[in-house]
Chain A
Amino acid sequence: AQSVTQLDSHVSVSEGTPVLLRCNYSSSYSPSLFWYVQHPNKGLQLLLKYTSAATLVKGINGFEAEFKKSETSFHLTKPSAHMSDAAEYFCVVRGLGANNLFFGTGTRLTVIP
């Protein structure tokens, strides 16, 4: 079965400092992985995706994630946090043989001025 575990329910960083949001995955095959962001009262927005090409994936707004098969991880990073990055972030894995996505429980990112 496919699943993702987001290791932190809440992360707080100061503006201008690095961001690290952790995600481990479980999959019986080479997975397709995504990070989505959800701002208050807005729909989910795709940040980036990994589909078995380059292991370092660059997304929008300066975010990137590295696929590490040996660690079954797909952590999201950003060198310098901005106030507008405050939101809920979801790590997502594609379901096997099914037309669906499996979402993690989310990590709420707070950015302190």
Chain B
Amino acid sequence: DAGVTQSPTHLIKTRGQHVTLRCSPISGHKSVSWYQQVLGQGPQFIFQYYEKEERGRGNFPDRFSARQFPNYSSELNVNALLLGDSALYLCASSPRPGDGLNYGYTFGSGTRLTVV
């Protein structure tokens, strides 16, 4: 079975541009979460989606948005990119939101975004 897949693996963008990152959860998993990992730090929670609805949001500006599709895949969008948005963006899936919190998430390998 395929794990959590993220695309692209690497991306370079210029300040002020927009970026879209994609995530496909494990088959059967309906909950997707997004995390930002800045170099040298632990991941920080951005969003969680379940059944196409937002179930949680971290302390990130409105430039960050996400959505989930009927097939449970998800997109993370970031507008007006700043240098500080450079990070590894991780997607995590679980069957339901509580499953990941209680039993652990399955993470993808991430998308490394560099803003220049």
- B-binding residues in A (CB < 8 A): 32, 34, 36, 41-46, 49, 51, 90, 92, 94-95, 98-106
Residues in A whose Cβ lies below 8 Å from that of B3: 43
Q: B25 at the A/B interface (Cβ < 8 Å)?
A: no
For the complex formed, measure the closest distance between the CB of A6 and the CB atoms of chain B, giving whole angstroms: 8
**What is the chain A residue whose CB lies nearest that of B42?**
A103
**What is the chain B residue whose CB lies nearest that of A46?**
B104
**What is the chain B residue whose CB lies nearest that of A41?**
B109
Residues in B whose Cβ lies below 8 Å from that of A102: 45
Contact (Cβ within 8 A) A51 B102: yes
Further pairs besides A43-B108, A95-B101, A101-B45: 10, Cβ < 8 Å: A42-B109, A43-B110, A44-B43, A44-B105, A46-B104, A49-B102, A94-B102, A99-B56, A101-B101, A103-B44
Contact (Cβ within 8 A) A32 B101: yes
Secondary structure call for the B interface: mixed
Contact (Cβ within 8 A) A100 B104: no
Residue of B45, B103, B109 near A100 (CB, 8 A) is: B45
Bitwise, B73-112 to A at CB < 8 A (1) or not (0) is 0000000000000000010100001001111111111100
**What is the chain B residue whose CB lies nearest that of A49?**
B104
Contact (Cβ within 8 A) B56 A100: yes
For the complex formed, measure the closest distance between the CB of A107 and the CB atoms of chain B, giving whole angstroms: 10
Residues in A whose Cβ lies below 8 Å from that of B106: 43
